[in-house]
Structure 1
Amino acid sequence: MDGSTVTGETAVPKWKSSGHVEYVESGQRQGDFVLAVPEGARAVRLGNGASVQQQLAVTPGAYYSITFSAARTCAHAQKLMVSVVPGSQAGGVIPVQTVYSSAGWDSYSWAFKAESGAVAFVIRNPGQEDDPTCGPIIDAVSIKTLNTPQATQSNNLIKNGDFEEGPYISEVYQWGALVPPTNEDGEVTPLPGWKIMSYSKSVKYVGAAGFAVPRGGRAVELVSGVETALVQDVETVKGGSYRLEFAVGDAEQGGCAASDSPAAMEVRAYAAEGNASVPWGGAQAQGFARGSLEFTAVGPSTRVVLVSSGYHTRADGSGALCGPVVDDVSLVRVSSQPQARRLLRR
């Protein structure tokens, strides 16, 4: 170490560092800027082009999600690159420019499919700032095995419709984990079965311990307004009749909807040529609303889209972004009963 700068590539136990990496403490100052450590007392900061990596023992063919916390510092446009080596999957770009929480940092998630029994997980700061020490602070890295997405119920065509399968969420710091945009078809996502369609914004994966969840232990909060959509492509029969249902509420237990009173939050659903809007909100709103959309499939595959129709911030004045929570999504085929025919005999 040279002050807070890591000078040996293996100086941080279990990690290998490259470039300008700092080992920082909570409350440490850089000029007038106070460095924020997401969890505990210490973390690492990645300067221009710097990276940290760790060897992982994994099962070939298995799916994994990575969750880590990141805090912005003095850089202007900040993002991170995450990847595993070896691996054919392109590295993921994690935008950390937008801060969603009032704490000054967020937890992010990324996923991959293991192609060998040992891989190196790498977090890199690709930025090039005038001050080479400026860059995100990284902390609290965890890994979790993801199960292959399946339909929630036997007659439900939506996979992982209850959102119970997803990235690791800290049981101590219950602020959820952001799921970044899906860049291409076939990319492994931390939210099995679902894609996040956006240019640079995320959705938040939340747990019942810290948020109001309509059903079970997990749900998704649409925190980025119209800029981010929750999407799933489902196999359908052209001309078949289907019914989409989902739950809508306020994950902040009144702290989000109240900030926009009397205007309510609203979730819009799209499938084939049909669409429906489910409003929810106001300071007196309780429980959760149930949305429904019936449509006729126009092809062998139907894209289901859920999106928030507006932007919302918490009612506590912190400016932290929030939005409606969605959960318990189902898509079933509606069987049309043929009219009974009577056979007359003479």
Structure 2
Amino acid sequence: MTKMMHCAAAILLLCSAVPIALAITDGLLPNGNFEAKPKASDLNGTQVMSRYAIPQWEISGFVEYIESGHKQGDMLLVVPEGAYAVRLGNEASIKQKLKVIKGLYYSITFSAARTCAQDERLNVSVTPDSGLLPIQTTYGSDGWDSYAWAFRAAFEEVHLVIHNPGVEEDPACGPLIDSVAIKTLYPPKLTGDNLLKNRDFEEGPYVLPNATWGVLIPPNIEDDHSPLPGWTVESLKAVKYIDSDHFSVPRGKRAVELVAGKESALAQVARTVPEKVYALAFSIGDAGNGCVGSMVVEAFAARGTAQIPYESKGTGGYKRGVLRFTAVAERTRVVFLSTFYHTKVDGSLCGPVLDDVSLLSVRSPVLRG
């Protein structure tokens, strides 16, 4: 009986160790929504006093543990999800160790809400990669946005760090952070029926289950590895990654909303044969999110341009557009952007949806458009 009890204890100990030994899975990080609270003895009001007080996280600097509905003067602090979030003061950071697979690509998704700072930014890093994400533009109407940032794992164990490099006079003017998640990215390969990768945008960052606001993909200048494999954001502002659970999507489960006019351009470089004629076909529409108006999506490739109009009623729907062009080089950059800025009645930024993009020789029998 004693031997059996020892065996059972050993098996139980082994099972409890398994999560530590396995690579992290897609979804929220351990205590990624900060709902597991610090002990009362580790808090001085809202300030977290101990480095390891927040379960699963290590902190440095002025970090606060904020409950939904907390007030700072006349300002009500918004917690994106659940009952709790953390706030990062000047030079403060949160860190978590991740066990990953060396060489694979990963995308981090997290929600952030501005507070009282004027020029809020966040530095997201996983050694040796880092990116500085400006969050002073609020795209949604709820007071927060979700952001994606990607990295390639250089080691089997890495540290994810979210750091506020702010220098505000009030250290309590930093951003709120919530709902930190991860997703393994598998960059799609080229196929015989398309010269573009990830044509339907199906491979992309983790979308939080209750995120009715989508996920922002930052410009390429702020992210060495795109969270949207195959594509880069070649502009000053972000594009929004949306899913069919919360938005109208022309094809499949995912699409991209061009939310910042000519300041958010989506691009990909394809192999082409000079002097050969190609057709760039794509779907444009609206996300069914109340974004109403006369929309125009501009497409560019080689010396060719096209402007495809779409009259949005804000209830969903799409149409096909085609740009035919002659390649002038062995590499051709295709670019999409929205001609106009659009806002919903609540003032939040919105725009046309792009999906189902194909690039083929015009002689190909499988061309859709």
TM > 0.5 between the two?
yes
SS at match of 1:183: helix
Corresponding position: 1:197 with 2:202: no
Q: 1:177-211: per-residue Cα shift (whole Å, max 9, x none)? A: 00000018x92110000000122x10000000110
Corresponding position: 1:174 with 2:217: no
Could you tell me which residue of structure 2 aligns to residue 133 of structure 1?
A: 172
**Percentage of identical aligned residues:** 54
Q: CA deviation at 1:285?
A: 7.9
Amino acid at match of 1:300: E
Q: 1:295-320: per-residue Cα shift (whole Å, max 9, x none)? A: 01110100000000000011xx2101
SS at match of 2:117: coil
Q: Distance in 1 between matches of 2:288 and 2:175?
A: 27
SS at match of 2:262: helix
Q: Distance in 2 between matches of 1:217 and 1:129?
A: 41
Q: Is 1:278–1:289's contact at 8 Å kept on the other side of the alignment? A: no
Could you tell me which residue of structure 1 aligns to residue 60 of structure 2?
A: 18
Q: 1:101-134: per-residue Cα shift (whole Å, max 9, x none)? A: 1111010000000011000000001110111111
Q: CA deviation at 1:173?
A: 2.5
Q: Is 2:108–2:180's contact at 8 Å kept on the other side of the alignment? A: yes
Q: Is 1:196–1:231's contact at 8 Å kept on the other side of the alignment? A: yes
SS at match of 2:173: coil
Q: CA deviation at 1:290?
A: 0.4
Q: Greater CA deviation, 170-179 or 44-53?
A: 170-179
Residue 77 of structure 2: which of 1, 26, 35 is its match? 35
Map 1:127-166; keep pairs closer than 5 Å: 127-151=166-190, 153-166=191-204
Q: Distance in 2 between matches of 1:41 and 1:284?
A: 32
Q: Structure 2 length as normaliser, TM-score?
A: 0.85
Q: Distance in 2 between matches of 1:111 and 1:22?
A: 26
Could you tell me which residue of structure 1 aligns to residue 119 of structure 2?
A: 77
Q: How has the CA–CA distance of structure 1 residues 52 and 328 changed in structure 2, closer, same or farther, with 3 Å as cutoff?
A: same
Amino acid at match of 1:333: S
Could you tell me which residue of structure 2 aligns to residue 6 of structure 1?
A: 48
Corresponding position: 1:115 with 2:115: no
Map 1:208-247; keep pairs closer than 5 Å: 208-247=244-283
Q: Distance in 1 between matches of 2:97 and 2:153?
A: 13
Residue 256 of structure 1: which of 272, 291, 307 is its match? 291
Residue 302 of structure 1: which of 324, 332, 349 is its match? 332
Q: CA deviation at 1:167?
A: 0.2
Amino acid at match of 2:320: R
Q: Is 1:308–1:323's contact at 8 Å kept on the other side of the alignment? A: yes
Gaps of 5+ in 1: 338-346
Considering fraction of residues, name the structure with more helix. 2
CA RMSD of aligned residues (A): 1.6
Runs of 4+, deviation exceeding 6 Å: none
Could you tell me which residue of structure 2 aligns to residue 344 of structure 1?
A: none
SS at match of 2:44: coil
Q: Structure 1 length as normaliser, TM-score?
A: 0.90
Q: Is 2:287–2:316's contact at 8 Å kept on the other side of the alignment? A: no
Q: 1:70-95: per-residue Cα shift (whole Å, max 9, x none)? A: 0000000111000013x2x3x11111
Q: How has the CA–CA distance of structure 1 residues 282 and 55 changed in structure 2, closer, same or farther, with 3 Å as cutoff?
A: closer
| Paired positions, count | 323
SS at match of 2:80: coil
Q: Is 1:94–1:180's contact at 8 Å kept on the other side of the alignment? A: yes
Q: Distance in 1 between matches of 2:322 and 2:175?
A: 42
SS at match of 2:47: coil
Q: CA deviation at 1:240?
A: 1.1
Gaps of 5+ in 2: 1-42
